[in-house]
């Protein structure tokens, strides 16, 4: 585990073990690369992203916190301020060849405008043959605190026209501010812009790609977002090539809508996503 500096200035942690290779940026506590040994990378990043400080990296796992989507406060950034803030690496532990890292975000003068609450937030990574990422929230206020959040994971799926996403039976979803619609069947295929906020969603889905099947599991989350921008939206996205929609999908472990995090004084909550090649 070594700390390095990207040519464009962002600091990151590089992990290289017998089990995997990975890199995690201190800006946003954002992992942009995870490759299990002898397997393909499990995360996708746009080649259009040049890792400029101040932007979230277009790929990997952006941490959306303490709100998902647009803020109802004008001028507040989409998907919260965590992903463009500088986090600290609080601890690194090696258990045999598995690495545990903890990143923390201090609420300071320059970001408490967005979040004027006495809470603690950290992002935990467990890197081995599989990847687990958690957002841990603790409420130190003497009043209830509510937040929405997501681990906005970008997956490499080879060819969107061949992708089959399964495990959606019984869920309902809102899309383009309409719905909720009942999920028809267990499988989702992609033929147009897809931007679904699922609730009542089972904890495990599978992404069946030409390169193999990715399993995405969630803990303490009943909601997830399934997103592919397709052709038109791709052209409105920053740091995203016109062809990028063909090789990626986002499946985002979330706590949004009725699944938002409600923390009583002193309470904690941990959202976790587990990702692996099956």
Site residues, ligand TA6 (CB under 6 A): 56, 69, 78-79, 152, 195, 225, 227, 237, 250, 252
Select 30 or 139, whichever has its Cβ closest to ligand TA6. Answer: 30
- Phi and psi (nearest 5°) for 175? -140, 130
Closest CA to 133 of 30, 236, 45, 56: 30
83 and 62 Cβ atoms separated by less than 8 Å: yes
Instruction: Calculate Rg over the CA atoms of the chain.
Output: 18
Select 15 or 171, whichever has its Cβ closest to ligand TA6. Answer: 171
Cα 68 to Cα 62, 72, 99, 186: the distances in Å are 11, 11, 28, 25
276 and 129 Cβ atoms separated by less than 8 Å: yes
Question: Residue 248 CB, nearest distance to ligand TA6 (Å)?
Answer: 11
Question: Residue 148 CB, nearest distance to ligand TA6 (Å)?
Answer: 12
Select 127 or 201, whichever has its Cβ closest to ligand TA6. Answer: 201
Select 15 or 24, whichever has its Cβ closest to ligand TA6. Answer: 24
Question: Residue 271 CB, nearest distance to ligand TA6 (Å)?
Answer: 15
Select 15 or 240, whichever has its Cβ closest to ligand TA6. Answer: 240
**Rounded distance between C-alpha atoms, residue 220 and residue 235, angstroms:** 34
Question: Residue 180 CB, nearest distance to ligand TA6 (Å)?
Answer: 17
182 and 131 Cβ atoms separated by less than 8 Å: no
Select 57 or 99, whichever has its Cβ closest to ligand TA6. Answer: 57
Question: Residue 197 CB, nearest distance to ligand TA6 (Å)?
Answer: 8
69 and 75 Cβ atoms separated by less than 8 Å: no
Select 10 or 263, whichever has its Cβ closest to ligand TA6. Answer: 10
Question: Residue 162 CB, nearest distance to ligand TA6 (Å)?
Answer: 22
Checking DSSP bridges between strand 212-219 and strand 187-188, what pairing results, if any? unpaired
Contacts of 2 (CB under 8 A, 6+ apart): 13, 14, 16
Cα 93 to Cα 11, 128, 168: the distances in Å are 19, 12, 36
- Phi and psi (nearest 5°) for 233? -65, -35
Question: Residue 239 CB, nearest distance to ligand TA6 (Å)?
Answer: 8
Peptide bond into 73 cis (omega under 30): no
Select 19 or 147, whichever has its Cβ closest to ligand TA6. Answer: 147
Residue, CB closest to ligand TA6: 227
CA dihedral 32, 241, 6, 24 (to 10 degrees): -10
Question: Residue 178 CB, nearest distance to ligand TA6 (Å)?
Answer: 14
């Amino acid at each position: 585990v070594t700390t390095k500096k990207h040519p464009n200035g962002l600091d990151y942690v590089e992990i290289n073990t017998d089990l995997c290779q990975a890199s995690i940026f201190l800006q946003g506590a954002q992992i942009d690369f995870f490759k299990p040994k002898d397997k393909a990378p499990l995360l996708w990043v746009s080649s259009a992203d040049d890792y400029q400080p101040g932007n979230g990296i277009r790929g990997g796992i952006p941490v959306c916190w303490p709100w998902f989507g647009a803020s109802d406060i004008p001028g507040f950034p989409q998907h919260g301020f965590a992903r463009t803030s500088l986090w600290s690496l609080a601890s690194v532990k090696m258990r045999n060849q598995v690495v545990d890292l903890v990143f923390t975000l201090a609420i300071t003068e320059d970001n408490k405008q967005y979040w004027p609450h006495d809470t603690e937030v950290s992002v935990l990574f467990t890197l081995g043959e599989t990847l687990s990422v958690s957002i841990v929230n603790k409420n130190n206020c003497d009043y209830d605190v509510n937040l929405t959040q997501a681990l906005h994971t970008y997956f490499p799926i080879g060819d969107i026209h061949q992708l089959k996403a399964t495990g959606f039976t019984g869920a309902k979803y809102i899309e383009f501010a309409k719905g909720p619609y009942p999920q028809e069947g267990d499988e989702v295929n992609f033929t147009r812009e897809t931007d679904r906020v699922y609730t009542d969603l089972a904890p495990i889905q599978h992404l069946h790609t030409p390169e193999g099947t990715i399993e995405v599991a969630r803990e303490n989350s009943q909601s997830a977002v399934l997103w592919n921008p397709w052709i038109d939206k791709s052209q409105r996205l920053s740091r995203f090539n016109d062809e990028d929609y063909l090789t990626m999908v986002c499946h985002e472990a979330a706590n949004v809508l009725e699944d938002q995090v409600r923390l009583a004084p002193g309470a904690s909550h941990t959202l976790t996503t587990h990702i692996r090649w099956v």
